[in-house]
Amino acid sequence: MCLGVPGKVIAIEGNCATVDFWGVRRQVLLDVVDEPVAVGDYVLNHVGYAIRRIPESEVGETLALFEELLAQDDAADLMAGDVRSEIAATGTVPDADA
């Protein structure tokens, strides 16, 4: 739970952002994010809320750990499981199938 999960903002409506997590589109809330967020930014998210806008120069380094964890495809791995829980904590996009 300490890990959080980074994703890319692809749309913003009010305080709610649609965020892409490795091809999965989910909604996160922007109520407590540290800086104004724009489409194209990466944000770090925890239990459904964006908690930090990740500076562009740091996106690659931030994503790498998560990409390695998710690429392992090991259902039992604790770190990957925590990352999947963080994605499950985000909201479903109402028109995701549209």
Partner 1 sequence: MPTPDPRAASSELKFRDPVRARAMVRALGRITDAIGRSPVSLMHVCGSHEQAIAKYGLRASFPAALRVIMGPGCPVCVTDAREVDEGVALALQGVHIATYGDMLRVPGSAMSLADARAEGAQVHVIYSAGQAVELAERVKEPVVFFATGFETTAVATAAIVLKGLPDNLSILSAHKFIPPAMDVVASVPGLAVEGFLAAGHAATITGWGVFEPFAERHHLPVVVAGFEPLDILAGLVRLLELVRDGTPAVVNMYPRCVTREGNLRAQAALWEVFEPSSGRWRGISVVPDGNLALRGRFAGLDARARFTIDVTPLARHAPPALAESCLCGSIMTGISSPTDCTLFGEACTPDHPVGACMVSTEGTCRIWHQYGGQPDLGDLA
Residues contributing to the site for partner 1 (CB under 8 A) = 1-4, 8, 10, 20, 22-23, 29, 31-34, 44, 46-49, 51-52, 54-55, 58, 60-65, 67-68, 70-71, 76-79, 81-82, 85-86, 88-91
Least CB distance to partner 1 at residue 22 (A): 6
CA distances 44 to 7, 48, 97, Å, are: 7, 10, 25
- Looking at residue 7, its amino acid is G
Pairing between β-strand 5-13 and β-strand 42-46 as defined by DSSP bridges: antiparallel
Q: Which is nearer to partner 1, 59 or 95 (CB)?
A: 59
Distance CA 38, CA 59 (A): 15
Least CB distance to partner 1 at residue 37 (A): 12
Least CB distance to partner 1 at residue 6 (A): 10
Distance CA 78, CA 50 (A): 22
